[in-house]
Amino acid sequence: MQEPIVSIFSGRASKPLAEKIAKFYGSPLGQSSVLEFSDGEFQPSFDENIRGRDVFIIQSTFPPTENLMELLLMIDAAKRASARRIIAVIPYFGFARQDRKDRPRISIAAKLMANLLTTAGVTRVITMDIHADQIQGFFDVPVDNVFASSIFLPYLKSLNLPDLMMASPDAGGTRRAAFYAKALNTVFSICYKQRSKPNAIENMILIGDVQDRDVVLVDDMIDTAGTITKAGKLIKDSGARSVRALATHGIFSGEALKRLEDSVFDEVVVTDTIPVEHNCSKIHVLSTAEFFAEVIKRVENYESVSSLLIK
Number of residues written out for the chain:
311
Q: Answer yes or no: 193 catalytic.
A: yes
Question: CB under 8 Å, gap of 24 or more: what pairs does 155-158 form?
Answer: 155/269, 155/286, 156/180, 156/184, 156/216, 156/246, 157/184
Q: Among 179, 152, 133, 160, which Cα is nearest to 245's?
A: 152
DSSP code at position 174: H
Q: How many other β-carbons are positioned within 10 Å of the β-carbon of residue 79?
A: 15
Q: Of these residues, 20, 111, 193, 282, which one is catalytic?
A: 193
- List Cβ neighbours of 148 (8 Å cut-off, separation of 6 or more): 128, 129, 248, 271, 288
Instruction: Please state, in angstroms and rounded to a whole number, the distance separating the CA atoms of residues 174 and 206.
Output: 13
Known catalytic residues are 193
